[in-house]
């Protein structure tokens, strides 16, 4: 795993070496082992390397035989051995054993179609000195990040925003629409970033930057296509998925450094544990974080999976005194980010890095195979809306009168969340179930300045864009696609990348192997959801392989006991951060509305933990980065 950065000027000016060095320095945590640089007049790029493959000769940049093509890579090319063999048969000569070198030879061989030959998680920059052409490429699912700032004078790019901000041509003007999206979703959905000048390169895309013509074009090289195909029967799909998962885990366990796996009580990590323990020649190391609060803890389930698979299992207790961790985490998110599971993820990565350098993670199963209760809620909401409006109003009042519980996934929270979005058409209701601050709630906390800057912006557009991209799909296919392009991409994968890179730990996600993603698009809906059984495919596949309690267990999510923390151990810290003085400094949030949220939560009138956590992380972000 690495960090990359660089700049191409269309003004024919020499790129200062000290600028690229300064940008690269901001990425030290992503690659502590070594750095590398390349300069060609009006182009320069740098990288920080975490050594995983080819420890002795894999230093970057890497080149083709004539050294007129150079590449720097953040990520891994998993099929590099197979690709290398194919390219050598086509007369290409390799000088290292690195996976990165396959990129330049694939580009020589296949031209702009070369990215389709790569299986991996990657964000890379390739410079063709003959054509004066820069290619910026991001993997199909957006596992690895790539940000850029472009205008008529050129382009700069980096793995993280903090590196781009070193470039004096990169302005820091806030994108208020992006900030409004953050208050809706707890993260900033792409392709926006929190800064107007900076964008996120979308998954499955490349930027073609022509230094001679002074043009920048974007090209999509891969897309998710749900396909209407005949139902071949469960045995066919079982055999296919079993083979794909086994091979994805096998090729992603290629490494020259110690290896392990993150383990929860869930199906996704449990399935990976089963396959990894079969593939590994050594006893597999597994790691889990648990909480003292039983309804949040996945300790027992993770332990049961570890025992069934015969792993060397490690358990880490997360204690509620985590103010210092919250502040540390803020150093690694360059834009507002409020997913509370970043805290246990940070702690898990910190402990894990002391034992291994590469870990497998279970991201992607819910978004490919329908693991979220909202998929069921969408269908239930259709019937709910058939009831008379007067009856729905009575039911809503009764539900809102239920006592507040701090338990994880409590019944009152599930019902209240359902009612919160069920009145909307199914596309809008799906957004509403993830919405932290509704428009009427924003009215109470936004300052006049913030309201004036929004110009009627509706955060739903971040979901609507992807609903529109898959107009002809079934309802379930649309929901899965939207989840893949929003929640998975800009929340879960961002969290995994930043928290692992904070400790120079590489995390790989085999379920998001593009072959498995493509397989999932051909899987009929009846194999994804059966009645009220979510993720039926994986449950059926893992019968007899994982403990029965795991196959029938309810989804918990990797979520800490934030509601009780806010009104308990973290109360002084949060009230200090969300003080009138600090909120007035932002110029964007009104104290009185926030004070009301705190009082409601602390007196258990209403569970406001998501809203308060969103506000907390916004204030902390603005203090450091704004």
The beta strand positions in 64-106, using DSSP E, are: 69-77
Residues 6+ apart with CB under 8 A from 47: 2, 3, 4, 5, 24, 27, 31, 35, 36, 37, 60, 61, 72, 73, 74
Check if 398 is active-site: no
Place of tokens 């864009």: 465
Within 433-545, where are the H helices?
A: 439-445, 448-454, 461-469, 475-483, 493-501, 514-522, 536-541
C-alpha to C-alpha distance for 428 and 294, rounded to whole angstroms: 34
Of 133, 108, 147, 161, which is closest to residue 42 (Cα–Cα)? Answer: 133
Question: Which CB contacts under 8 angstroms, 24+ apart, belong to 467-471?
Answer: 467/427, 470/226
* Cβ burial, residue 218 (10 Å; 0-12/13-18/19+): middle
C-alpha to C-alpha distance for 11 and 485, rounded to whole angstroms: 36
Place of tokens 């991409």: 489
3-state secondary structure (DSSP) of residue 227: coil
Of 101, 78, 77, which is closest to residue 88 (Cα–Cα)? Answer: 101
Q: How many Å separate Cα 187 from the centre of its chain?
A: 10
Backbone angles phi, psi at 259, to 5 degrees: -125, 155
Residue 387 in tokens:
């009831």
3-state secondary structure (DSSP) of residue 249: helix
Catalytic residue numbers read: 2
């Amino acid at each position: 795993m690495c960090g990359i950065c660089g700049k191409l000027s269309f003004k024919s000016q020499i790129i200062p070496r000290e600028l690229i060095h300064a940008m690269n320095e901001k990425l030290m945590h992503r690659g502590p082992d070594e750095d590398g640089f390349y300069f060609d007049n009006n182009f320069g790029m740098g990288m920080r390397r975490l050594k995983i493959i080819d420890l002795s000769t894999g230093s970057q940049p890497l080149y083709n035989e004539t050294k007129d093509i150079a590449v720097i890579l953040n990520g891994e090319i998993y099929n590099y051995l197979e690709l290398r063999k194919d390219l050598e048969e086509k007369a290409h000569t390799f000088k290292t054993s690195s996976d990165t070198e396959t990129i330049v030879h694939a580009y020589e061989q296949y031209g702009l179609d070369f990215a389709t030959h790569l299986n991996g998680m990657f964000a890379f920059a390739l410079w063709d000195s003959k054509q004066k052409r820069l290619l910026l490429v991001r993997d199909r699912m957006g596992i690895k990040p790539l940000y850029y700032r472009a205008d008529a004078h050129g382009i700069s790019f980096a793995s993280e925003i903090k590196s781009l901000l070193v470039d004096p041509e990169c302005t820091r003007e806030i994108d208020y629409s992006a900030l409004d999206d953050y208050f809706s979703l707890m993260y900033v959905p792409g392709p926006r970033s929190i800064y107007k000048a900076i964008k996120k390169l979308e998954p499955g895309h490349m930027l073609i930057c022509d230094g001679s013509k002074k043009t920048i074009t974007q090209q999509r090289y891969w897309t998710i296509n749900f396909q209407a195909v005949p139902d071949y029967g469960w045995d066919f799909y079982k055999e296919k998925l079993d083979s794909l998962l086994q091979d994805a885990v096998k090729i992603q366990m290629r490494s020259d450094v110690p290896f392990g796996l993150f383990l929860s009580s869930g199906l996704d990590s449990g399935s990976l544990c089963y396959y990894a323990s079969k593939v590994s020649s050594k006893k597999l190391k597994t790691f889990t974080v648990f909480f003292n609060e039983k309804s949040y803890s996945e300790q027992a389930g993770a332990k049961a999976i570890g025992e069934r698979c015969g792993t060397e299992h490690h358990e880490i207790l997360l204690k509620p005194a985590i103010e210092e961790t919250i502040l540390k985490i803020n150093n690694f998110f360059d834009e507002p980010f409020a997913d509370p599971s970043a805290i246990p993820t940070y702690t898990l990565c910190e402990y894990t890095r002391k034992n291994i350098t590469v870990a497998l993670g279970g991201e992607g199963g819910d978004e490919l195979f329908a693991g979220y209760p909202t998929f069921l809620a969408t269908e239930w909401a259709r019937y709910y809306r058939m009831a008379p409006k007067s009856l729905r109003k009575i039911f809503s009042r009764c539900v809102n009168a239920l006592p507040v519980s701090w338990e994880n996934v409590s019944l009152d929270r599930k019902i209240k969340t359902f009612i919160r979005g069920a009145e909307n058409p199914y596309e809008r209701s799906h957004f509403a179930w993830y919405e932290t601050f509704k428009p009427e709630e924003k009215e109470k906390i936004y300052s006049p300045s913030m309201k004036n800057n929004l110009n009627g912006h509706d955060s739903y557009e971040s979901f609507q864009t992807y609903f529109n991209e898959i107009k002809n799909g079934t309802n379930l296919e649309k929901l899965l696609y939207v989840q893949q392009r929003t929640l998975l991409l800009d929340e879960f994968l961002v969290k995994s990348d930043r928290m692992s890179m904070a400790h120079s730990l590489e995390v790989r996600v085999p379920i998001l192997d593009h072959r498995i993603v493509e397989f999932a698009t051909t899987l009929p809906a009846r194999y994804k959801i059966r009645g009220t059984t979510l993720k039926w495919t994986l449950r059926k596949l893992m019968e007899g392989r994982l403990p029965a309690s795991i196959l029938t267990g309810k989804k918990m999510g990797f979520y800490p006991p934030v509601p009780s923390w806010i009104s308990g151990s973290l109360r002084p810290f949060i009230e200090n951060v969300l003080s009138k003085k600090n909120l007035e400094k932002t110029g964007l949030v009104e104290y009185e509305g926030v004070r009301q949220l705190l009082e409601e939560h602390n007196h258990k009138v209403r569970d406001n933990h998501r809203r308060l956590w969103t506000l907390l992380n916004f204030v902390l972000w603005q203090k450091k980065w704004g």
